[in-house]
């Protein structure tokens, strides 16, 4: 209630990107103050519950709800986000070299639609800066996924070199990598999702991860994040290529170029849309990927999760974990407790003792 009655009205009067930086900076600063992480956990933390705890990718998730990439692009506020109830978080998208991203303004709210549009363009401080920040963490209470991309100036035929560079730089500090080939805000990036481009990129990435894992004696996973704006046929080919590559999992989905279900004037802005209008499409992509793979590869559902029912729908469609971003902006940090409590209620309603029993339930 504190966020919705006080924080949100203040932030929503600001430019969206300025508010974004204030939140990140505030969380980063707060986590450094004595006792503040404990206070955040007391206010917003989610206690581990056996019914919601998941073991996946060689990692333990005390909650199936994670923070999607794009909010903490430079890993500035990991301790803060770790204290407000997330079971895991993505940092990034990070590129080998820092880059400013697209011209401002580049982030827009659509309040009646509970949506955001962004055309940030992989603005970030680069892999070396992220390495420094993640190396400085004294403890890691939740798994940290590092979302990696290519620099804007790198041509697609050399894109694999950027992804491999990020893996080499950040292998020791990442719990898991996410290959981002689905942002609509880097020119031609989405073409890497298809055909020979996708096959070649994933072959290179999987080979590098295998080499790093063998050298370290670890088994770190790599996932691929896909777009919602594909035909059923394109999705089937994409999924088959991903399965054949040996990649560990799929995140479905990134933001959308569609404006269906929106009325606010900002719908005319270019960029990727997230939030409520993406809810049904992202869940449908999860459902199709689960069906196409026979549930043999884990899926993380992302897109338009605001309520326990929406998170649960993605799980029943085939998601093992769920991510939020826009829901956090509109509902505030209390959303994690609401989602956890609601998921437990929905599991009990359907007679499930553990969340794993609900994964893909709609297909049975």
Query: Which sequence positions are flagged as catalytic?
Result: 183
Its sign, for the CA torsion 343, 117, 147, 125, is: negative
- Cα distances from 97 to residues 126, 170, 240, 342, in angstroms, run 5, 13, 32, 41
Considering only CA atoms, which of 302, 359, 300, 344 is closest in space to residue 327? 302
| Whole-angstrom Cα Rg for the chain | 19
CB count within 10 Å of CB 202 equals: 23
Q: How far apart are CA 163 and CA 127, in angstroms?
A: 11
Q: At what angle do helices 195-216 and 159-170 cross, to 10 degrees?
A: 20
Q: How far apart are CA 29 and CA 33, in angstroms?
A: 7
Q: How far apart are CA 65 and CA 229, in angstroms?
A: 24
Name the β-bridge partners of 272. Answer: 118
Judge whether 344 and 63 are in contact, CB under 8 Å.
no
CA 243 to chain centre: 20
212 Cβ contact partners less than 8 Å away, ≥ 6 residues apart:
167, 168, 171, 218, 220
Q: Mapped to the 3 state alphabet, what secondary structure does 25-38 carry?
A: HHHHHHCCCCCHHH
Residue 218: helix, strand or coil by DSSP? coil
162 Cβ contact partners less than 8 Å away, ≥ 6 residues apart:
95, 96, 148, 149, 150, 151, 154
């Amino acid at each position: 209630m504190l966020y919705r009655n006080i924080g949100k009205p203040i932030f929503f009067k600001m430019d969206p990107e300025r508010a974004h930086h204030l939140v990140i900076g505030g969380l980063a600063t707060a986590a450094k103050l004595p006792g503040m992480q404990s206070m955040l956990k007391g206010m917003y933390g989610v206690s581990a519950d056996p019914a919601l705890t998941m073991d996946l990718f060689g990692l333990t998730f005390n909650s199936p709800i994670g923070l999607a990439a794009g909010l903490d692009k430079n890993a500035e506020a990991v301790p803060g986000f770790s204290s407000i109830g997330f079971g895991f978080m993505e940092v990034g998208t990070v590129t080998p070299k820092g880059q400013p991203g697209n011209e401002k303004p580049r982030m827009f709210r659509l309040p009646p639609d509970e949506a955001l549009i962004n055309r940030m363009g992989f603005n970030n401080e680069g892999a070396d800066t992220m390495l420094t920040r993640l190396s400085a963490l004294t403890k890691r209470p939740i798994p940290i996924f590092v979302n990696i991309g290519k620099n804007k100036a790198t041509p697609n035929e050399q894109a694999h070199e950027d992804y491999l560079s990020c893996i080499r730089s950040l292998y020791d500090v990442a719990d898991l990598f996410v290959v981002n080939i689905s942002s609509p805000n880097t020119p031609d990036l989405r073409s890497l999702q298809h055909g020979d481009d996708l096959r070649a990129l994933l072959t290179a990435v999987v080979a590098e991860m295998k080499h790093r894992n063998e050298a370290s004696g670890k088994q770190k996973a790599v996932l691929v994040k896909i777009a919602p704006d594909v035909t059923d046929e394109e999705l089937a080919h994409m999924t088959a290529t991903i399965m054949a590559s040996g990649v560990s999992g799929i995140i479905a989905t990134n933001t959308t170029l569609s404006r269906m279900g929106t009325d606010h004037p900002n719908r005319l802005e270019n960029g990727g849309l997230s939030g409520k209008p993406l809810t049904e499409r992202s869940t449908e992509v999860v459902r199709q990927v689960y069906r196409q793979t026979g549930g043999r590869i884990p899926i993380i559902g992302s897109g338009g999760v605001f309520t326990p029912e929406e998170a649960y729908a993605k799980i029943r469609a085939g998601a093992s974990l769920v991510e939020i971003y826009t829901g956090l902006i509109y509902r505030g940090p209390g959303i994690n407790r609401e989602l956890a409590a609601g998921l437990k209620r929905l599991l009990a309603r359907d007679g499930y003792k553990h969340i794993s029993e609900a994964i893909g339930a709609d297909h049975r």
